[in-house]
Amino acid sequence: MGKIKIPYYVVRNGRGYWQPKSEMKRLGFVNVACGNDGPDAWRVAEKLNLKWLEFKAEDEKFVSISPKRGSLHESFKRYQATNEWRKKAPRTREEWERAWSRIEPIFGDAAPKTITLEHISLFRENIALDVSEREAHRCVKIWRALWKVAAAFGYCKGDEDPSLGVRNTEPKRRQVIWSHSEVRCLVKAAWRKGYYGLATIIAISWDSSLSPVDVRKLTPSQGHNGPDGMVFILERAKTGRAAVATLSHTTKRILNRYIQILGVEIAPSAPLLRNRSGKPYTKDTLGDDFRTIRSNVFGHLEQRTLADFRRSGAVEAIRGGANTTHVGQKLANDAGSNPSLGRTYMPVDIQAVRVVDLARRKGRK
């Protein structure tokens, strides 16, 4: 067995351990037994090290900022130093930071108790006018969560949030959908143009109903071949919920052909799907490549996105007779169920996911 170098990973008597330094332990990181030394233990250690790097990046991002005592900024910085912040899914933390980038210039140095309804109303209106109604809605939503955090630290009272007097109507949700035949056209066009990784992402996204970020982060170690076909078993980036991504036989053939063309062995924990440069797809490169192929097939006026595949798959499944509970299993969210009970009593069920796959095939007819 070859050796691998992972920070803070040590081997004793054939077993691997991830052992953070004392200063890391003071920040909440602990020793973890990873199992028998080998690929499985390495993956555990790599995951733990990635969490440390993410935390370190966040810490360095704010270390140079000295918040005003008693300010909203101080309460947020204190929150970011807690385990509760680290427990949030990376995408959730991104959403908080995105909203904070708009909140901080206006309210960062202010004591929460000095902020009024008029302030929040004007803040929301300006964002709606300058950016979008959806962005304004997001900022007020995060503001309300941030106020509860500040109240928990004693900076204000939880029931005195001035934003509660501001109407924060959620903007109309997108309704556009793709059809199965349209997606097939996208896959074929991407493949013919040499966008093999993109073609594979489109095919997997359509079959699995995963979000684009989950698909582009798929790794070889998450793939499994079973009696009913190939699946990827993963945790969703946005929520951390367990998900099963099922692939049709056609998509499995596309994936296998893509791997042959790639011509290199991908490490078990590395992103599997690459752009034409051979680098893993990022949010920007995936969006750029998808728009190129979309315009090639449907023209420059077409605005539907890869993210619309999730809604399209759900609509297709409902048409085919699937119930909302099963659709929730497929989407790895709480569609059609009580959120708390759903997480407790309905762990992801591969058979429920297969039911939705069958319903989708019926629905597209």
Structure confidence at residue 334 (pLDDT):
58
Residues 249-274 pLDDT 10s: 999 999 999 999 998 888 899 999 99
For residue 50, pLDDT beyond 80: yes
Q: Identify residue 108 by its one-letter amino acid code.
A: G
User: Cα Rg for the chain, rounded, in angstroms?
Assistant: 23
pTM of the complete model? 0.58
Name the domain count of the chain: 3
Residues 6+ apart with CB under 8 A from 23: none
Residues 46 and 95 in one domain: no
Domain termination site, one of 64, 89, 112: 64
Q: What percent of the chain has pLDDT over 90?
A: 45
Q: Mean pLDDT throughout 41-45?
A: 86
Q: Enumerate the H helices of the chain as residue ranges.
A: 22-25, 39-63, 72-80, 83-87, 90-107, 117-130, 133-152, 180-192, 196-208, 212-216, 249-262, 283-298, 308-319, 324-331, 339-345, 350-363
Q: Residue 323: exposed, middle, or buried by beta-carbon count in 10 A (0-12, 13-18, 19+)?
A: middle
Q: Are 225 and 119 part of one and the same domain?
A: no
Residues 211 and 307 in one domain: yes
**pLDDT at residue number 228:** 75
Q: What digits encode the pLDDT tens for the residues 233-245?
A: 888 766 667 888 8
Cα 116 off chain centre by: 34
Mean pLDDT of 32-58: 82
* 256 and 313 belong to one structural domain: yes
Q: Which of 37, 64, 91 is the last residue of a domain?
A: 64
**242 and 354 both lie in a single domain:** yes
CATH number at residue 155: 1.10.150.130
My answer on whether 237 and 113 are in the same domain is: no
Position 352 pLDDT exceeds 70: no
Q: Is 305's pLDDT higher than 90?
A: yes
Tokens representing 109?
Answer: 């140095």
Q: How many CA atoms lie within 13 A of 120 on its CB side?
A: 23
Three-state SS for 30? coil
Same-domain status, 201 and 325: yes
Identify whether residues 45 and 75 lie together within a single domain: no
Same domain, 101 and 248: no
- How confident is the model at residue 91, as a pLDDT? 79
| Per-range mean pLDDT, top range of 88-97, 125-134, 148-157 | 148-157
Last residue of a domain, which of 140, 172, 204?
Answer: 172
Structural domain boundaries, residue 27 = 1-64
pLDDT grade for 339, boundaries at 50, 70 and 90: very low
Q: What is the mean pLDDT of residues 212-231?
A: 88
- Sheet harboring 229-235: ordered strands across? 223-226, 229-235, 242-246
Q: Judge if 288 and 236 occupy the same domain.
A: yes
pLDDT per residue as tens digits for the range 57-116: 665 544 444 578 899 999 999 999 999 998 888 878 889 999 999 999 889 999 999 999
Q: Which residues neighbour 333 within 8 Å (Cβ) at sequence distance 6 or greater?
A: 239, 241
pLDDT at 140 over 70: yes
Instruction: Give the integer Cα–Cα distance in Å for 209 and 331.
Output: 6
163/292 same-domain check: no
Q: Write the CATH number for 198.
A: 1.10.443.10
260 lies in the same domain as 351: yes
Confidence at residue 358, expressed as pLDDT on a 0 to 100 scale: 81
